A and B are shown apart, each in its own frame.
Chain A
Amino acid sequence: MDVLKKVPVREQEAKVRATNFEEVCLGYNKEEAMEEAARCINCKNAQCVKGCPVSINIPAFVEQVKEGNIEKAYEVISESSALPAVCGRVCPQESQCEGKCIRGIKGEPISIGKLERFVADYASENGIKPAAATEKKGKKVAVIGSGPAGLTCAGDLAKMGYDVTIFEALHEAGGVLVYGIPEFRLPKTKVVAKEIENVKSLGVKIETNVIIGKSITIDELMEEEGFDAVFIGSGAGLPKFMGIPGETANGVFSANEYLTRSNLMKAFDEKSPTPIKRGQKVAVVGGGNVAMDAARTALRLGAEVHIVYRRSEEELPARVEEVHHAKEEGIIFDLLTNPVEILKDEAGWVNGIKCIKMELGEPDASGRRRPVEVAGSEFVIDVDTVIMSLGTSPNPLISSTTEGLDTNSHKCIVADEEFGKTSKEGVFAGGDAVTGAATVILAMGAGKAAAKGIDEYLSNK
């Protein structure tokens, strides 16, 4: 074997997977995992740990995998992460742990993500659960939202002995893990449901169908229902649209809607009562991970799919792996292209998207070169469906109903990075509700930080 290269991971073949919703990556088996783990040089001053938002002791768990002690490896990971099967699949490892791996200086880094995934799946298949707290603190914490931030915060607090209840607005727990990320990247029954079961096995209660700010307010949770502290992990919020003509035509969807129909409501399955528009030719506007998810979903529902993005490939915010997978599956990338109008027929249905060519100018505030329109270069792509994947703006439901909770100029909740403390006593926050749309692992990191903050707050109260 070549120690400079990762042990390759098995995947479903592109042509086959483009027609189904089964998971793309098949993961390592034990032999492959042990072989990959053996590449780790067990650095004294491990850089990978510094790259991990939840500081998993990576060399320690990889060492256990190398020895074939998978259960021990799971124990090490569980000390730091409540959702390893999820993170092993959706974390941007290339810019975190693996990005810092010393092995990666010369050759390829250790495949930390795939090893984490293997360990978590092994634990799940063999009924290994994280250890619950033995001592109870006798204090109640409410966690708002059951996405990655909420689950992590709840899991950590439960392990410390707190009595934790998660309130979820939808009918199912998991947040973006169930409504946003598609089945073919993150299986719902096999992976997400089991991780949630693990969090519940720590003693965490989950009440679905409760919308904080509508069904009950934060003040009421603290005053009437006896919660000593609250963590807000309510997620990203309202989808953005471009504000161009034709956006209310039939056949224009937000990526949130399209993905929620397919993922949460299972509309990809013909048997689901929730409908989804199966387009013939679909344009997905945007270049992030959510855009890739929407595009690859539309492809699997039978459409020819175009990604329409105003900058060039280099600036695509999506993970390289996702772009690579999308291309393999046959997604067409119309780069340096920006929509100016959505065209519709007399009945109000989309029948085209008018775009203009762009070129890159001087760098803008984000450091990326600003796209500039090329005069007179308008053209039309024939499509019957347009999916807008332009990010989100914060949902005001909580901030507008909670006295003394400060928000910033973007209407995101203000919380300190170290402990997630907000302007309101006993209230902590983290994840997309604070940062705006980001990644699963950053939300988990924030949930973890807030759990520490809440523990400190309640211990000194």
Chain B
Amino acid sequence: MYKIVEAKELVPNIYMMVVEAPRVAKKCNPGQFLIVRTDETSERIPLTICDYDREAGTVTIVFQTIGASTKVMADLKTGDSFHDVVGPLGKASELCDTPIDELKKKNILFVAGGVGTAPVYPQVKWLSERGIMADAIVGSKNKDLLIMEDEMSKVSNLYVTTDDGSYGRSGMVTKVIEDLVAEEKKYDLCVAIGPMIMMKFVAKLTKELGIPTIVSMNPIMVDGTGMCGACRVTVGDEIKFACVDGPEFDGHLINFDEAMKRQQLYKTEEGRKMLELTEGDTHHGGCGNCN
């Protein structure tokens, strides 16, 4: 069992948990993910590692409730436990393998959307610990859904934007990229993490602007160790497994349209599980799958 030492709802439907998982905490690096299960019958849920404390043996995860399984997860409180936590999975961010002197010469722009702020954070933090302050754009739908602003502002030059203009700049993250570039900012690398649709449009824009771009893919997975192949993504003319070859890839080579279609794979099944969970024995049809 893996004890939850802290659990809190950051904003409606987005939760943060600090979990005891010494083996993961000892070895993980920014960019990697882990898999959790709440109890012995649960689904395996992959989540990017958001922070880690090697000495305390803990890792931090941030997740949004999107289906039945994440709803069950959200009910866990401080002091409860996960049945399983396994990791670290996937490759660490390329930044971790790049010599610091080289990184210092680069202007790096991070772009985060919604809950994607969580996986961006450890990368920005890792750089700041090495004396590099990167620019970071964090976008959210509105002020109430913005997460980790304080944490991010400590480790980056932060630009917040909201879709509805209720806080910070106004508009999508792509608009902020355009604005910053128009303000004569030059970037050698962009790291974008967020909803697939956001990463698609960021990659499209940075391609036009000639800024190499890394994105972090979060496809459907089962084992997370290369065994099942559910997570295959088309990168250029190659098919890669996000769990072992990624999760980070060259954003300019990803086939986002296909990746988005693949995310819909179990939508009906998920919806059905959700209805069963929320309606229980009172469920009387409407899901399109029951008798």
Contacts and interface: CB of A to CB of B under 8 A. Distances in A.
Interface of A: 169-171, 179, 208-211, 214-216, 237-239, 241, 247-248, 250-251, 253-254, 256-257, 260-261, 265-266, 271-277, 347-348, 395-397
B212 interface: no
Given A216-B27, A237-B226, 10 more contacts: A171-B44, A209-B23, A215-B86, A238-B226, A238-B244, A256-B228, A261-B222, A271-B41, A276-B269, A277-B269
Nearest to B85: A209
Given A171-B44, A241-B239, A395-B227, A211 B86 contact: yes
Given A171-B44, A210-B23, A254 B229 contact: yes
B87 A214 contact: yes
A248 B262 contact: yes
Q: Which of A209, A241, A251, A260 has its CB near the most chain B CB atoms (within 10 A)?
A: A209
Nearest to A347: B261
Contacts of B87: 211, 214-215
A171 B227 contact: no
10 contacts: A170-B86, A171-B44, A171-B84, A211-B89, A254-B228, A274-B222, A275-B266, A347-B264, A348-B262, A397-B244
Contacts of B266: 275, 277
Contacts of A395: 225-227, 244
Given A250-B262, A275-B269, A238 B229 contact: yes
Given A208-B84, A247-B239, A347-B261, A214 B44 contact: no
Contacts of A276: 269
Interface of B: 23-24, 27, 37, 41-44, 68-69, 72, 83-89, 222-223, 225-230, 232-234, 239, 241, 244, 258, 261-262, 264-266, 269-270, 273
Closest 5 pairs between A and B when the two form their complex, measured CB to CB: A275-B269, A348-B261, A257-B228, A209-B86, A254-B229
A103 B225 CA distance: 46
A257 B229 CA distance: 7
B69 to A, nearest CB: 5
A94 B37 CA distance: 41
Given A169-B225, A210-B23, A248 B234 contact: yes
A261 B230 CA distance: 11
Nearest to A266: B41
Nearest to A344: B261
Nearest to A278: B269
A219 to B, nearest CB: 13
B239 A248 contact: yes
A265 B266 CA distance: 15
B27 A214 contact: yes
Contacts of A272: 41
Contacts of B88: 214-215
Contacts of A241: 229, 232, 239
Nearest to B37: A171
A309 to B, nearest CB: 20
A351 B244 CA distance: 29
